Structure 1
């Protein structure tokens, strides 16, 4: 008996949910004949929202709303009959569609839409992307807009030697293989600040693509990241402390909203805080 561990693969997909004027989600008939949600794989450097628009067949620039993020773990067989453990992070977007667009297609309440099978299925995502011509780094990460009952916002300070050193950053970081973005954020929050918090609403989904960056193997690295921003509430703050050893966090502190314009913020923090369309609430 072969006890070798299966090959692993990480993938990101963008899913499209059309929403009718009556608030119903529109599905499609999947390959097996059941209802499914349209979607497509997000390749290196792509804007996930653009991928979702193409998957949904709507024009470029159609307004989308980030609706949810879910992780799917599946073991499938490749063409050689070998097991492959596939971790898919699925990004769900909604867009308004007219009644004509839903004619003859299944509709259901929006809250049930993310339970539908999402396309493409894990088994259709085994092909590897072409190798990048130079050093590259891909990252899927979750960051928190972390608040307490007093309305303060918790930030962490990037340590020397790391990109963005000395700037104030949102707690969070990379999602490990087999880990859900919300679980990863709760873990990172404790490692960087010593706080326990509960994740709340999705704020936004963004992406970052830049060349000529310092990476683990080269000072000329092409970096592509998908960033997921979530509300996190700390109901019972405890004394702040950085619990990770020799990590990317040098310090952490609570700030009032009025403090933020006077801080040196990381690009990630600016992106997440700017995306807030409504007041932060517990």
Structure 2
């Protein structure tokens, strides 16, 4: 019997670029289950809960830790900056790499206080637009969370995959469009603790995707979570049911929907 490979251990870290009299600084910390990356970044910089942050990048590292028994890790590093320090990135990167280092990320998280199943996810979603300013949305199929609502194209980042590659793949599978992943819009999180069942935690990465030559809107994945897809003008968004993820992403571009 062929052995089943162990899943690739995954970690999320957050990094904050700040300015100051002594020059720009880069802080870093691990993001634990249930933590919002932006909140962790603010605490790193000693900032208030309302302090504005700019999402700069999500860097994916697929590497093995040094040592006699190397441990492979998939690490997604989320980078924020305070507004005055945006231009310091990436020159502020230290020569030895970003901290925490891989060796510091091997250990498992402390066990939760309540013994219940947990689901963790890194997901990449796109604000997908065409040259006329239309926005592409996908309809969540029956049997999936949010069924019947219109969703931003995107989904889970597979082990060994970076957020941009995952987004290009998901846009193609869900809408039949080939787009260019542009600027990072924001990074947020979703944490749900139901009375029963799984505790769910996800880090949501939102990026702009431009489709220069729109083709027919068609769902290519079979038996997946997408039932349909369509282009919408911004003024049409108020007349359709939007998923929580879509509302979270669009509020950064067109105001609350």
SS of residue paired to 2:8: strand
The residue number in structure 1 matching 2:108 is: 128
- Indicate yes or no: 2:154 matched with 1:172: yes
1:87-121 Cα distance to aligned partner (Å, 9 max, x none) = 110111111579xxxxxxxxx84343358621101
1:141/1:57 Cα in 2 relative to 1: closer, same or farther (>3 Å)?
same
Write out aligned runs for 1:1-282 (5 A).
8-20=8-20, 26-27=24-25, 37-77=26-66, 81-95=68-82, 109-113=88-92, 117-132=97-112, 133-212=115-194, 220-276=197-253
Question: CA–CA distance in 2 between the matches of 1:93 and 1:165?
Answer: 33
SS of residue paired to 1:188: helix
For the aligned residue pairs, the C-alpha RMSD in angstroms reads: 2.6
Question: CA–CA distance in 1 between the matches of 2:74 and 2:163?
Answer: 12
Which stretches of structure 1, 4 residues or more, deviate above 4 A after TM superposition?
3-7
1:5/1:264 Cα in 2 relative to 1: closer, same or farther (>3 Å)?
closer
Question: CA–CA distance in 1 between the matches of 2:240 and 2:202?
Answer: 24
Which has the greater radius of gyration? 1
Q: Which runs of 5+ in 2 are unaligned?
A: none
CA contact (8 A) 2:64 2:72 kept: yes
Structure 1 position 228, deviation (Å): 0.5
Question: CA–CA distance in 2 between the matches of 1:6 and 1:136?
Answer: 18
TM-score, normalised via structure 2 length? 0.88
Question: CA–CA distance in 1 between the matches of 2:88 and 2:117?
Answer: 45
Q: Which runs of 5+ in 1 are unaligned?
A: 28-36, 99-107, 214-218
Structure 1 position 59, deviation (Å): 4.5
Question: CA–CA distance in 1 between the matches of 2:160 and 2:183?
Answer: 22
SS of residue paired to 1:192: helix
Structure 1 position 50, deviation (Å): 1.8
Structure 1 position 181, deviation (Å): 0.2
SS of residue paired to 2:18: strand
How many residues are paired up? 249
CA contact (8 A) 2:234 2:254 kept: no
Question: CA–CA distance in 1 between the matches of 2:205 and 2:102?
Answer: 21
Question: CA–CA distance in 2 between the matches of 1:55 and 1:205?
Answer: 17
SS of residue paired to 2:71: strand
CA contact (8 A) 1:158 1:168 kept: yes
